[in-house]
Structure 1
């Protein structure tokens, strides 16, 4: 019984230490973003956020933070609160152009 418990615990620790595939993908996205920013291929995030926040109708909304980045499409998803509804604005990281919105 002790051997089974030890083996199970060791396996669980290895899984936690290895991280999940989603975490690994997120790390690669961040690395890709840093590289693109260093090469001047993307607009800095703080500038993108400020630009979107200055445009109507987003200027009347509250920015919620927690941006997400899609490295394949080079698009940020920025979350805003419009009354009681969350609005996600998709912004091209290379140009700053708004390329979509939900809802």
Structure 2
């Protein structure tokens, strides 16, 4: 009985907990698109092209899957440098590189 209850309850809880995150992500993307349309942020494809034009990133492959921090207006872009993944943090408003890991 406990096993049946657990197998029914756990997926329901996981689904319920993920819904607000999904909805928030959609709102973030919508507001980001609006900001890009109004010229408040640089479009993502242009940011990626600008980063790729700068050494040492010009020799790296872009991996995709950008992450966006709406509070700080920062993109985390992943590049491959040989066998190492490099994450480049870019200000979405200015295009300025504000950090790198590693």
Task: Give the TM bin, normalised by the shorter chain.
Answer: 0.7 to 0.9
TM value normalised by structure 1: 0.80
- Over alpha carbons, which structure has the higher Rg? 1
1:7-33 deviations in Å (ceiling 9; x for gaps): x96xx6697488433222211211220
TM value normalised by structure 2: 0.81
The equivalent of 1:63 in structure 2 is 62
The equivalent of 1:40 in structure 2 is 39
Structure-2 separation of matches of 1:58 and 1:91: 13
Q: CA RMSD in A?
A: 2.4
The count of corresponding residues between Structure 1 and Structure 2 is: 98
Give how far 1:100 is off: 0.5
Structure-2 separation of matches of 1:102 and 1:69: 16
Q: Which consecutive residues of structure 2, in runs of 5 or more, have no partner in the other structure?
A: none
Q: Which stretch has the larger CA shift, 31-40 or 42-51?
A: 31-40
Corresponding position: 1:89 with 2:63: no
Q: Which consecutive residues of structure 1, in runs of 5 or more, have no partner in the other structure?
A: none
Structure 1 residue ranges (4+ consecutive) displaced by more than 6 angstroms after TM superposition: none
- What does 1:1-103 align with in structure 2 at a 5 Å threshold? 16=15, 19-103=18-102
SS of match in other structure, 2:64: coil
Structure-2 separation of matches of 1:18 and 1:34: 26
